[in-house]
Amino acid sequence: MKTTVFTKYHIAAGAKMAEFAGYNMPIEFTGINDEHMTVRNGAGVFDVSHMGEIWVKGPKALELLQRITTNDVAKLYDGKVQYSCMPNGRGGIVDDILVYRIDAETYMLCVNAANIDKDWAHIRTAGEAMGLGAGTGKELYNASDEICQLAVQGPLAMKIVQKMCDEPVEQMEYYTFKKMRVAGCDAILSITGYTGAGGCEIYVANEDGDRLWEALWKAGEEFGLKNIGLGARDTLRLEKGFCLYGNDIDDTTSPIEAGLGWITKFAEGKEFTDRELLARQKAEGVTRKLVGFKMIERGIPRHGYELAAPDGTPMGHVTSGTMSPCLKTGVGLGYVAAQYAAPGSEIAVVIRGKLVKAEVVRLPFV
């Protein structure tokens, strides 16, 4: 099992550790609900060093990214981040990713931890078909094992991070980044977030991880900074309706079905993988859609539970579900027949063989 630069600190803090995407990761420290509310109301730090980073460089970088991703990379400018996904050629999704434009010929992709090898193979195959080289010093480079990443999240997060920076960062726009010094380390500081609570991500080389960690905790002491595990990361992202790869989207779900039509851009000249198929789905509609739902009757929807029409007709399953720490009610995501996808539609979650009423709602939940 792999470890991150920060694993030793998690163990010393008494974290409940478990394997995730091949890494020994902290699941919780003081409890999921406590950690969840800390991020909603204050500030917490997540070790997200298990995420992958892949560089795409050279004069053909934009051409490659326009081919393998659904969003319009040509709209990016230096210092801008874009949420996107990579279609698999069969209407499904290889992965959902973040695309960072460093300059016109330099991009960094942040990819999901469990998909690093799959994504790297996919990108390398497409790049090599265009004559791009892969490996050290080449146009395509997988730097995932060399970079660590901390996500500092919550309404007080940027006040903490500002103390480690020589230039202003508190007013940075959503989905932008800066290459800058943080705690004396060369870093990429980005404003994206997977919690919807505000904050940033800090990428540094592994050898700078200890320095960043110590500076962050010194800066965060007066603001009550706390460690947050992957358990609360999941409940926080679910309250905001953010998809989790492997649960809500995967190789069998299309971005149109998943409500990701907004990152699927049919721009002139952008001939991306599955363009024709996805354009047809957008024009003609799909038979199932990913929706958010809130429990009407008492019950907690769990991943894998069956979703049914009010008369009990099966039509899908819960892809993500939990008891919302903020709302104190069960919420979830799942695929339903298109006729039940409109907000206000009544559906049912099958819990221990019983139909438990739920209502489709607009996202986010919180």
- Domain locations along the chain: 7-49+146-239, 52-142, 287-361
Fill in the amino acid letter for 273: T
Which residues, in sequence order, are bridge partners of residue 285?
none
Sheet strands side by side (includes 185-190): 177-182, 185-190, 199-205, 147-153, 44-47, 226-227
pTM as predicted: 0.97
CA distances from 259 to 242, 254, 309, 341 (A): 11, 9, 20, 11
Fill in the amino acid letter for 5: V
Q: What is the pLDDT of residues 132-169, one digit of tens each?
A: 999 999 999 999 999 999 999 999 999 999 999 999 99
- Neighbour tally for 219: CB within 10 Å: 19
Q: What is the pLDDT of residues 50-80, one digit of tens each?
A: 999 999 999 999 999 999 999 999 999 999 9
Q: How far apart are CA 95 and CA 261, in angstroms?
A: 15
Q: What is the pLDDT of residues 194-251, one digit of tens each?
A: 999 999 999 999 999 999 999 999 999 999 999 999 999 999 999 999 999 999 999 9
Q: What is the pLDDT of residues 93-106, one digit of tens each?
A: 999 999 999 999 99
The H helix count followed by the E strand count for the chain is 8, 19
What is the model's pLDDT at position 205? 98
Instruction: List Cβ neighbours of 162 (8 Å cut-off, separation of 6 or more).
Output: 168, 169, 170
What is the model's pLDDT at position 96? 98
Confidence band, pLDDT 50/70/90 cuts, at residue 38: very high
CATH 3.40.50.1400 fits domain 7-49+146-239: no
Q: Which fold has domain 52-142?
A: Alpha-Beta Plaits (3.30.70)
What is the model's pLDDT at position 70? 98
User: Which CATH superfamily includes the segment(s) 287-361?
Assistant: Aminomethyltransferase beta-barrel domains (2.40.30.110)
